Amino acid sequence: MSKKRIFVGITGASGAIYGVRLIKALKSLGHEVHLVISKWGAETLTYETDLDVKALIAKVDKVYDENDQTAGPASGSFHLDAIVIIPCSMKTLAGIAHGYADNLITRAADCALKERRKLVLVPRESPLNLIHIRNMETVTQAGAIVIPASPAFWHKPKTIEDLVDSIVDRVLSHISSSRDSAATWTGED
Ligand SMILES: Cc1cc2nc3c(=O)[nH]c(=O)nc-3n(C[C@H](O)[C@H](O)[C@H](O)COP(=O)(O)O)c2cc1C
């Protein structure tokens, strides 16, 4: 599998572990990971996991401040193979849906759409209001792939990591980087 450069944005929706597990998977597959964690992404990471931001940053190749609009990913000319926002808050989803690129995560996503690059969003909220649903429709029409943080159970998960990885594997398959361990439905015997 060829090495890819993947931008990962972790925002302040619940489920920071999805971003953590994706980064682990991307690194184990040999990819280059460029990371931005929003202020509220960092808060939820600390609140919900045993990891701190420094430990996560140590695992990636490049990290940017969410307000650094001079960073490479703020330009469509900067090469990225895919952009994944995981978890994606409703606020960040709204920014992307409306082209309101007020930080490096929404700007990188905006660039992905204009450059017709792969953009995967993993939104988490429940229940959804009509604004959330319409914003998911808008980004889908603009070319993004929406993979809700809604794990499957047919692979009989035993741990939270097993559950989370069912979403991580869906993300990996959409950025053309599936791994051998991915649970795959092969049909009933
Ligand atoms: C513990 C915690 C859990 C949250 N969970 C969610 C969530 O699941 N979905 C969501 O859209 N926002 C959630 N929020 C609210 C977002 O963090 C807030 O809207 C924030 O402004 C998002 O900014 P960001 O997208 O720049 O990270 C949560 C906030 C906290 C503190």
Identify the residue whose C-alpha is closest to ligand 1 atom 7: 13
40 in contact with ligand 1, CB cutoff 6 A: yes
Q: Is the per-residue pLDDT at 18 higher than 90?
A: yes
177 in contact with ligand 1, CB cutoff 6 A: no
* DSSP-based three-state secondary structure for 181: coil
The pLDDT confidence band at residue 189, using thresholds 50, 70 and 90, is: low
> pTM, whole model, 2 decimals?
0.96
Compute the distance between CA of residue 69 and CA of residue 144 in angstroms, rounded to an integer: 22
154 in contact with ligand 1, CB cutoff 6 A: no
Q: Tell me the pLDDT tens digit for each residue of 67-90.
A: 999 999 999 999 999 999 999 999
Q: Tell me the pLDDT tens digit for each residue of 125-141.
A: 999 999 999 999 999 99
Strands 62-64 and 32-37: parallel
Of the candidates 87, 83, 77, 79, which has an alpha carbon nearest to the alpha carbon of residue 6? 83
Helices (H), strands (E): how many in the chain?
Answer: 7, 6
Q: Going from the N-terminus, what domains does the chain have, and what CATH number goes with each?
A: 5-174 (3.40.50.1950)
Average pLDDT over residues 93-107: 98
